[in-house]
Structure 1
């Protein structure tokens, strides 16, 4: 029977299958040759082919398994050989080389489903692998492996079962970190395109000064990103120092010649960072290739609007009128109440670097006029904050009555969300809730027994609450829109235009908006315009827009840009194309095969002879200049520009590479912020003595493991080392993390 197995797919499995009885049925069991099998199931490495079926030679399950572990390219290359012996050579080569970047990202999402468990006890290596993945992916402390009850669960019935010491786990995580860094460095060096980055600085809960760097690129029309490194910068976070640290990381990975852009926040030290970096990383064009985190700009603009409504600090020589005294009395102790009810983590508060208080530029008369306009809104917000706080704190009187009223009005059982003063989006959430639950708020503040009459809102106050809610909605939606994984830099300028339009309308429309809204919208608009002007300094915004098939040059024309500005935008695209992409050549297939003489066996191939006929091939750049053809084709109703360019890569072989590079530039540094959020989970108040090296290795390995970059052989390499006895001092050599390729 084995002599009849001629399909190349058998090359991905051991030559001689086992003959077993599986659930009472005889079967041939094929064992996968992959070093790190990616399949799922009780025995993931094995594929059973039952002998009591109609087709005992079916290879469909074998092909599914090979596709998961080796990838479509390797399977296709094996099929093209049409010879099992030659196919085994292809598989041998695939096992010997590092997996390409595309293969890792394709395979990381396959096989997800119901979790099953093996009947076979873990080996020592498998235990180490599982524990490394567990503690890093889920931010568990290393000493969890010595927990009494954990050991009780693991060793009951098998007292000799191997469990490593916490010190061994710590050592293993660092070893895996080093091996994965080398693999990632090689894959990024071989990536066919330029790389984009995002970075930000963070002080951890245990006072480690760190910077995180994420890398962004395109893979088969999809945006891809990953944490590249998290390094300690234990000195002033000046722009010069940050540039040096950033440059060191790129040089370590060997990708300093592949940098297109970087996204960072709007702090002044990042201006210096941008100016210093080109001298250290020559492939970076400086301010022309910098993007400013749009989520940060949105936060700053919303903060500028809401900051006008903050209760002013007490001034001994203030001459307070009745309204001011009422506000001061209601707002007394509100900050203490906030901190008592919900501790404010400074690291989680809105980043205010780059915020400008335009009141400082006003005359005394202008400030007094502004104060008078915004006083009603200040009073409204204080009342709502007090209602939320008082309701929550009175768990035996007011809160039960609140729930009774909620039920009476047929609303969902919810408490009023608190407005945390350091987070503008919590103000929106509070207003949205208050308007929805207005009947409950009106009823409970009207009841004498609740002693909340001083927080009653009249119709005018409810109207300005709706106005502020509606204005904040544009910031809320913008934040959510740009927090998506597929957000594009090409959408930043149109989004700025939309926000500016909303603020301009609110500032000028006295028929729809109160004085308080008009005054605060004017201040917020000035800040948004400041950052709108900053986009003129960077070329990548306009290039990305022109290269998005939905915008091209038409958006600028509709927006009323001058002919000179539009011509300049086109020139930026042409210049960048001429500089880097005009001579670009698409890479050859990953697994080229020798041409063989035509034979009858060719007819068995699954390919179609018409696919490769020159007369039916897509139009290429030889038919004319790619940029001109692209712009003359007109705009298309396309949301996903990256995928559009991937699908048109044969029509525009050079321009598509450029477009995919620019459209994969991140418009925000949200990915980096998420790293910091994960870091706060890792560094709980009970785990505050971790070294910067341990933080770095744990965070990076955790993300890389979730993405499929940690392999069994990484653990195998460290499994042969002697375990570390608990209590031994950790020693790291000077270049312990050096990348050696």
Structure 2
């Protein structure tokens, strides 16, 4: 009997130094070949061994594969892309990962995906609760109801607040099944229960609901129990501006003077665009008169593009200067039409704005300027100093009202905190509508068997993952700003 010290460099880039027993030189080398195979398998299972890798900037890093990290990253991919859970079981997917990216990857089933989603949802919800509890400002809510293709009712609750970086945050905190009937009392009880579990009961500043009578009843209960509502809740029930405008326009268009012309226009448009042959004739006619041929948009009852671009938003404040000025202009035109008792064209209405009840102010800024001019005093307090500032009436698309308040928070410490709370108030229920759109994709005709807890986990996690990606970008931007400020101080 003798032993052989065998040294080999395997295909996985490591050295194997072992002592193998042997009987005689005539025994061959099959046992050595067996060791190469078995050693390679052991090497493949050694997930703790780091390997060299590169980041996006080309820096060399030591990378250690982790199956748990890989599973979590795949969960994020599935949730953000709203993919079916069984995508992980497709043979092509597993082979692509193992052969092209990571041989150490171990495939798992859709059942593992389901349990991982529930686990990650609980972890992320705990983190969100900690963030909301640590937040020192006020929180605004948006809530609405939706009926799924399973004929189950869901209640969406979304929080809005301006964080420490003066960026608007929107987080869906609940997307749960709510039992029928959806009365005002049931809606109130459901939302209050969720707020108490999150621990943000005393931080609520406003609640944005649509104009359903049950929501009005629900808010009447909120006013009696929520302690932080300003002015005893008189300004905290924010009606959805999109719904209000829709009701106004619908009521106006129901007049007999409008019905017949609008009906004819719709019929003609439907006839033109109902055939590719007729649509081509329409395009040729537009070209002949020097007009760009455009396909007219299909009617959308609750949202128009012009209104959506001005009012609806989840990543920027809704109570912006454009909203105020636009509502002011609409109000002026409405007054002109009411006073004259005629239907004016947009041009004639614009020309008559100066004769409206606002005494000639053609914008909200002109009206505000006259109010500020009436302020008397020596500008000794913060409010007077703020009102004595020149008004910004010209804005470009890059103007950020939150950035302005952040830059001036040292000059107006109290007003800036008030602005942070007020500017977070959503003037529409767009956040809920966005959540319902995600719900329709999660609960599609091909995925209608998902139970409500998994629906909530999928909708909420997608929203939180997207917010996490935005936060990373914000933090990088913040670090860049701090770096520039430090360089500026060093120059001094």
**Fold shared per TM-score above 0.5:** yes
In 2: Cα distance, 1:191 partner to 1:386 partner? 52
Q: What is the Cα deviation at residue 685 of structure 1?
A: 0.7
How much does 1:276 deviate? Answer: 0.7
Of residues 109, 133, 138 in structure 2, which corresponds to 1:194? Answer: 138
Say if 2:446 is the partner of 1:686: yes
SS at match of 1:708: helix
C-alpha contact (below 8 Å) 2:208/2:240 kept by paired residues: yes
Q: Do residues 256 (structure 1) and 201 (structure 2) align?
A: yes
CA contact under 8 A between 1:646 and 1:660: conserved in structure 2?
no
Q: Who is 1:665 aligned against? A: 425
> Are 1:629 and 2:385 an aligned pair?
yes
TM-aligned CA deviation for residue 496 of structure 1: 2.9
User: Which of 333, 353, 372 in structure 2 is aligned with 1:502?
Assistant: 333
Quote the offset at 1:554 in angstroms. 3.1
Residues in 2 aligned to 1:691 and 1:505: alpha-carbon distance in whole angstroms: 53
RMSD value, Cα: 3.9
From 118, 128, 133, the counterpart of 2:71:
128
Greater shift in the superposed pair: 486-495 or 236-245:
486-495
Aligned to 2:242: 295
Higher strand share: 2
Does 2:258 align with 1:374?
yes
Contact 1:210 1:233 in 2 (8 A): yes
2:48 matched to 1:143? no
Partners of 1:199 and 1:669 within 8 A in 2: yes
Structure 2 CA distance, aligned partners of 1:490 and 1:676? 25
Aligned to 2:268: 384
**Residue 552 to residue 253, structure 1, CA distance change in 2 (3 Å):** farther
- Number of aligned residue pairs: give it: 392
Q: Indicate if the aligned counterparts of 2:242 and 2:302 stay in contact, CA closer than 8 A.
A: no
CA distance in 2, matches of 1:149, 1:292: 50
Structure 2: runs of 5+ lacking an equivalent? 1-52, 350-363, 472-492
Distance 2:343 2:176 in 1: 54
Tell me how far apart the structure 2 counterparts of residues 177 and 264 of structure 1 sit (CA, whole Å). 26
Distance 1:298 1:678 in 2: 25
1:200–1:211 CA contact under 8 A, matched in 2: yes
**CA displacement at 1:280 relative to structure 2:** 4.1
Check conservation: 1:298, 1:479, Cα contact below 8 A: no
Instruction: Work out the CA distance in 1 between the residues paired with 2:332 and 2:393.
Output: 23
Contact 2:54–2:60, Cα closer than 8 Å, also in 1: no
Shift of 1:409: 6.3
Cα shift at 1:175: 0.8
Using the alignment, how far apart are the partners of 2:58 and 2:444 within structure 1?
41
**Aligned-pair CA distance for 1:195:** 1.2
Q: 1:433-489: CA deviations, max 9, x gaps?
A: xxxxxxxxxxxxxxxxxxxxxxxxxxxxxxxxxxxxxxxxxxx53431112433443
Is contact 2:202-2:226 (8 Å) kept? yes
**1:91-110 maps to which residues of 2 (within 5 A)?**
none
Contact 1:506 1:513 in 2 (8 A): no
Query: Equivalent residues in 2 for 1:533-612 (5 A)?
Result: 554=368, 557=371
1:120-269 alignment runs, 5 A limit: 123-155=66-98, 161-219=105-163, 220-269=165-214
1:652 to 409, 412, 418: 412
Higher relative contact order structure (alpha carbons within 8 Å, sequence separation ≥ 6): 1
Output one character per residue of 1:56-88: Cα deviation in whole Å (capped at 9) or x when no partner. xxxxxxxxxxxxxxxxxxxxxxxxxxxxxxxxx
State the SS of the aligned residue for 2:468. Answer: coil
Distance in 2 (alpha carbons) for counterparts of 1:511 and 1:680: 40
- Aligned with residue 482 of structure 1, among 304, 308, 311: 311
Q: Residue 45 of structure 2 aligns with which residue?
A: none
2:121 is paired with a residue whose SS is helix
Distance 1:249 1:556 in 2: 45
Deviations 1:671-715 (A, max 9, x none): 22111112212221111111110010011111211222899xxxx
CA distance 1:242–1:511, shift in 2 (3 Å): closer
2:88–2:110 contact (8 Å) kept in structure 1: yes
**SS of corresponding position for 2:141:** strand
Question: Is contact 1:244-1:277 (8 Å) kept?
Answer: no
Whether contact under 8 Å (1:389, 1:418) holds in the other structure is no
CA distance in structure 1 between the aligned counterparts of 2:66 and 2:178, rounded to whole angstroms:
40
Cα distance in 1 for partners of 2:130, 2:268 equals 56
- TM-score, scaled to structure 1: 0.47
Match of 1:76 in 2: none
When normalised by structure 2's length, the TM-score is 0.69
Whether contact under 8 Å (2:246, 2:301) holds in the other structure is no
SS in 2 for 1:489: coil
Verify the 8 A CA contact 1:221 1:646 in the aligned structure 2: yes
Q: Is the 8 A contact 2:337 2:343 kept in 1?
A: no
